[in-house]
Amino acid sequence: KPQLVASNDRFCRFLEEYCPVVTETYYPTIWCWEGRVQTLLRPFITSRPQVQYRNELIKTADGGQISLDWFDNNDSLYYPDASTRPTVLLLPGLTGTSKESYILHMIHQSETLGYRCVVFNNRGIAGEDLLTPRTYCAANTEDLEAVIHHVHSLHPSAPFMAAGVSMGGMLLLNYLGKTGRDTPLMAAAIFSAGWNVFESVESLEKPLNWLLFNYYLTTCLQSSISRHRQMLGKLFDMDLVMKARTVREFDKQFTSVMFGYRTIDDYYEDASPCRKLKSVGIPVLCLNSVDDVFSPGHAIPVETAKQNANVALVLTSCGGHIGFLEGIWPRKCTYMDRVFKQFVQAVFEHGNKIFSM
């Protein structure tokens, strides 16, 4: 059974009644028992539901643009009125977009419940051009704030929540820690977030993890900016950035410099959501596996979570990073998908029972 960490008895009872999956035994796929295997195989094993998006480009205050992919769900039987149709904002991982299988599954789950989804693609990675020499990072919440304001202004009467995966979850937590209760979001769901960036990069630099994940992730980061080389070359030595062989080296030469941090340690400290968890002011459910090499179990802020009545952690012993595969042949629904579906439905259909916490 997963470990449920929450100091608020009402929140616990709410989850047990309306999101019972968090108290049920999780049986990982028997031939995927190890976290790294779960992490590596999930993108290849899970199906990719068909989703038709409507793309929207919005302008930012600094002259840049953000690509949003909307799933309007105009055929919703439960919420035919678009003005009050519940809306879920989805934040993919570090180099992820609306095409990731885990995002497609979240939209598929939302579609069956009648909800609308919008995917926040970070600058420059969803095929759109960079209009300014700026991308994104886990600590800077300005773009997310702009997106949340934009979506809420379009549908001010619609119930509104968000779900973030991996770095998307870190960004969402950092935003919530900054805004407290001053947000149009009703609640949030966080999956496989890296809580302490120092511990995450140290784990990823262990020899086997570097071979399996770190080098590949670094090349993905480099690939995501290489298309914008002409624009970014105005501020950066791109040849030096392209020589990075670890995420830490990439962040030292590129990310921390872009966002004005004096050192990479300053950036990693600011990017770590564990520092802001006490300030979260709306109900948040966070799912992590303790065998996730991207977010090692010993770095999950269990004691800090117990100090905030708005926070609940669900910790599994297996599952890896955005893995959570279950069943003999886990093509369709993962444990993470089920947690997402039940929690989102619980918030939209019964949320009044926790908002008085």
Indicate the pTM of the whole model: 0.97
| Cβ 184 vs Cβ 152: under 8 Å | yes
Annotation marks residue 166 as catalytic: yes
51-77: average pLDDT: 97
Of 251, 270, 291, 292, the active-site residue reads 292
Of 67, 98, 110, 166, the active-site residue reads 166
Of 272, 295, 321, 337, the active-site residue reads 321
Q: What is the pLDDT of residue 355?
A: 66
Per-residue pLDDT of 265-311, as tens digits, reads: 999 999 999 999 999 999 999 999 999 999 999 999 999 999 999 99
Q: Using 50, 70 and 90 to split pLDDT, how confident is the model at 356?
A: low
The domain at 3-196+273-355 falls in which architecture?
3-Layer(aba) Sandwich (3.40)
Q: What is the pLDDT of residue 206?
A: 96
214 has pLDDT over 70: yes
Q: Between the CA of residue 245 and those of 94, 210, 212, 214, 217, what are the distances in Å?
A: 16, 9, 13, 8, 9
Q: Between the CA of residue 253 and those of 63, 136, 171, 245, 341, what are the distances in Å?
A: 24, 14, 21, 11, 39
- Helix and strand numbers (H, E) in the chain are 15, 9
Annotation marks residue 292 as catalytic: yes
Annotation marks residue 270 as catalytic: no
Query: What single-letter amino acid sits at 170?
Result: M
Q: What is the pLDDT of residue 341?
A: 98
Q: What is the spatial distance between Cα 123 and Cα 45, in angstroms, rounded to a whole number?
A: 28
Burial class of residue 246, CB neighbours in 10 A (0-12, 13-18, 19+): middle
124 has pLDDT over 80: yes
Q: What is the spatial distance between Cα 333 and Cα 106, in angstroms, rounded to a whole number?
A: 10
Give residue limits of the domains in the chain: 3-196+273-355, 197-271
| Cβ 118 vs Cβ 152: under 8 Å | no
Q: What is the spatial distance between Cα 195 and Cα 191, in angstroms, rounded to a whole number?
A: 11
